[in-house]
A and B are shown apart, each in its own frame.
Chain A
Amino acid sequence: MTVHQMPADDTKPAYNYAYLDEQTKRMIRRALLKAVAVPGYQVPFGSREMPLARGWGTGGIQITAAIIGPADTLKVIDQGADDTTNAVSIRRFFERTADARTCEATDEATIIQTRHRIPEAPLKSGQVMVYQVPTPEPLRRLEPREAETRKMHAWAEYGLMQVKLYEDIARYGEITKTYDYPVMVNDRYVMAPSPIPKFDNPKMHMSPALQLFGAGREKRIYALPPYTSVKSLDFEDHPFRIQSWTQPCGLCGAGDSYLDEVVIDDQGGRMFVCSDSHYCETRRAEGHRGTMLGDAAASGLVEETTP
């Protein structure tokens, strides 16, 4: 039997604060500094094997682990919601390994790790957004070889992307990219905003928050420093536009938020609710009522509590 199989009393191995060893954190911080210095440029980094699966947020987790400290308050969202399974799992990971203070309120968080959404509430200076990124390369669907796409970025050779967007218009009458919609950063690099809906793209532009992007499996980090220009690619005669809905949130009545569609019966019944669960709850606490709030309470989707 080998030594590691006979731990003394404590069967839990002693892991460093926030799981990663300090050398690895330094390596990640160096990559982050480089990424901040060259906005939108993908910095290769020595992505570690994590105890969570690749493709499940290991890039974002490594960034959060490298920057989190005891004074931080962490919010983790997936699809805009704090209670989706993977968000719960990642929040638990940091509660266990970094003794992290966690919260659901967007304005209380110092670090917000996210998958697929930017919160509806405006971000503030001093906050850090950490995005989980599956495919950091915006040109990957057009050119599978990394050796080629790195050259294309080096030469700012983005004609292929423009042609792709044009072909969409020629075929469908509009650009059909609905999420991970490519952006031009600081008039230099085309960047993948991660699979956030294009609805959220304008929130990246000139954001007062620091935005960090981690792709663990692809071993890339990139960043948007505060107040960076982020422009969604478009054409003069086909300007960029975001999604819109014909009805407001059924629970809180918000007309300005990204909505999730909930199937409520097998007769074609649909209900639209805010994807940002904290935003929706805050509005309801303020007394806003959507048309379906009563029905939703009756069907157990939300609970009424006495204040």
Chain B
Amino acid sequence: MYVAVKGGEAAILATHDLVAEARRGDLAVPEITVAQIREQQALACARVMNEGSLYDQDLAALALKQSQGDVIEAAFLMRAYRTTLPRFGSSEPLDTAQMAIRRRVSATYKDLPGGQVLGPTYDYTHRLFDFALMETEPQRAPSPPAGEGWGEGSRDASDMSSKTGANVSDLRDPSSAPSGHLLPQGEKDRAPLDTTMPRVPDILGAEGLMEAEEPPEGDPRPFDLTRDPVSFPADRDVRLQSMARGDEGFLLGLGYSVQRGFGGTHPFVGEVRVGEVAVEFVPEELGFAVDLGDVTLTECQMVNQFQGSKDVPPQFTRGYGLVFGHSERKAMSMSLVDRALKARDFGEATNYPAQQDEFVLYHADNVEAAGFVEHLKLPHYVDFQGELELIRRIRREREERLAQEQGAKEPDTMPEAAE
């Protein structure tokens, strides 16, 4: 008796061991801790929390560690965990006007109540390597082998410093790069921030110039696309939820397309603000709100033009982005696409990808997209055999037909002429 040789299960188990080995890397290098990732890779953690739809910095850091820094894989881990969590209620709406501001900039007013607060930003860093970061504290790491990035980098840097003079050598001098060098000099001496920081669209709204944001009639609980299937056209709550958990790169590209020409919006950054907001919850048995803690949020409100109509005087319209953590690029992209997706509400043409809710919502989900794209790795040999059978038969029939026609017409034609 014969049986087919089976190795599938053993091979799968072996891949688990191999991935654990690859994740750990060189055992001579100390293992990274979850706390280090949480504290020192906070922007990556923010992206994982956003795309994983779960605010938990420790789990985001663990997901990044487990996935070797693969952000989409990390978001997938977050979501697969999130889906098993019980839902015990909804928080009170967050009030971003009460945000404890870390950073707040407006492109529409030179100065405004509360002022411009630059806070921690890479915006004005020159993108030159800070080779001082190669040093590890308190003890130096062993010298990496020659030919690795560090060795070459240091050679390049010395070349550069000979060309560009003092700048690069300053950069490499640890004394010129004190701890906290991303913060402006004199950060500690700065006056405390104003306690009131009104949101820019609210300032415009007071004048009646800004599209009002009213909750839908009856203020229903927002749709949750992780629990119910989406139908189209999708309402704004669905669109915003989808974008908040959507892929940053995809939204960035769509936002860029709107701005470049594949869309008709001309936005101003009314405001970008980053900071901590309290989350409050009203337990049924208490009947009043209790503070659950703070979340770090980035909020962007874009100001766009609108012609107005017979019934509505001309006013500015809003593009809104709200995301976890410090994620300005994502919040800005989201607010561009949010405005583009309002096209139908304002009677604008919807000719461009960013204006079409089905296109944006179905394709922004990177966990779904990665799953379907990567499923092409799975065996398809049954379907491929069907295609092989068909293509061979069509080619055979074609050759037979051509041979017949050729035999009937000109028996002495060169064979190449039939090709």
Residues of A within 8 A of B (CB): 1-2, 4-5, 13, 15, 21, 44-51, 53-56, 58, 78-81, 83-89, 92, 115-117, 134, 144-147, 172-174, 176, 178-180, 195-199, 217, 219-220, 243, 245, 251, 258-261, 275, 277, 280-281, 284-285, 293, 296-297, 300-307
Contacts and interface: CB of A to CB of B under 8 A. Distances in A.
A183 to B, nearest CB: 16
Contacts, number: 172
21 contacts: A5-B62, A21-B84, A46-B227, A46-B229, A49-B80, A49-B226, A55-B374, A83-B7, A83-B9, A85-B378, A86-B379, A134-B372, A174-B394, A176-B390, A176-B394, A178-B383, A178-B387, A217-B372, A245-B389, A302-B3, A305-B2
A261 B378 CA distance: 17
A179 B386 contact: yes
Given A44-B231, A49-B83, A53-B375, A305 B3 contact: yes
Interface stretch (B199-207, B252-260, B363-371): B363-371
A284 B381 CA distance: 23
A198 B378 CA distance: 20
Nearest to A221: B229
Contacts of B58: 1-2, 5
A171 to B, nearest CB: 10
A88 B386 contact: no
A8 B416 CA distance: 78
Contacts of A251: 2
B397 A173 contact: yes
Contacts of A147: 232-233, 358
B385 interface: yes
B230 to A, nearest CB: 8
A152 B379 CA distance: 33
A307 B12 CA distance: 29
B226 A2 contact: no
A301 B8 contact: no
A85 B9 CA distance: 7
A15 B9 CA distance: 23
Contact of B12 (A4, A88, A261, A293): A88
A178 B372 contact: no
A56 B375 contact: yes
A89 B4 contact: no
B127 interface: no
Contacts of A4: 59
B406 to A, nearest CB: 18
Contacts of A195: 380, 383
B6 interface: yes
The 8 closest A-B pairs by CB, nearest first: A54-B371, A178-B386, A55-B375, A44-B229, A55-B372, A53-B371, A55-B371, A49-B83
A146 B358 contact: yes
Contacts of B194: none
A260 B386 contact: no
B316 interface: no
B380 A116 contact: yes
B388 interface: yes
A276 to B, nearest CB: 10
B386 A197 contact: yes
A78 B2 contact: no
B385 A146 contact: no
B228 interface: yes
Contacts of B389: 178, 243, 245
B1 interface: yes
A280 B233 contact: no
A275 B388 CA distance: 15
A79 B79 contact: no
Given A5-B58, A55-B372, A303 B358 contact: no
B312 interface: no
A260 to B, nearest CB: 6
Interface string B124-144: 000000000000000000000
Contacts of B382: 79-80, 116-117, 179, 196-197, 258, 260, 275
Given A53-B76, A176-B390, A305-B2, A217 B368 contact: yes
Contacts of A13: 84
Nearest to B372: A55
B191 interface: no
B280 interface: no
Contacts of A15: 84
B146 interface: no
B237 interface: no
A198 B385 CA distance: 11
Given A49-B226, A116-B382, A260-B385, 17 more contacts: A1-B58, A5-B59, A13-B84, A15-B84, A44-B231, A46-B229, A78-B378, A79-B379, A81-B4, A85-B12, A134-B372, A176-B390, A176-B394, A260-B381, A261-B385, A281-B4, A284-B2
Contact of A259 (B358, B370, B372, B385): B385
A88 B3 CA distance: 17
Nearest to B52: A49
B349 interface: no
Nearest to B373: A55
A83 B8 contact: yes
Nearest to A56: B375
B358 A145 contact: yes
Contact of A302 (B5, B227, B231, B381): B5
Nearest to B368: A54
A231 B3 CA distance: 36
Contacts of B82: 49
A281 B56 CA distance: 51
B418 interface: no
B414 interface: no
Interface string B1-28: 1111111110110000000000000000
B346 to A, nearest CB: 19
B368 to A, nearest CB: 5
A81 to B, nearest CB: 8
Given A56-B371, A145-B358, A281 B232 contact: no
Candidate in B11, B12, B374, B381 with the most chain A CB atoms within 10 angstroms: B381
A301 B5 CA distance: 6
Nearest to B9: A88
A12 to B, nearest CB: 12
Nearest to A117: B382
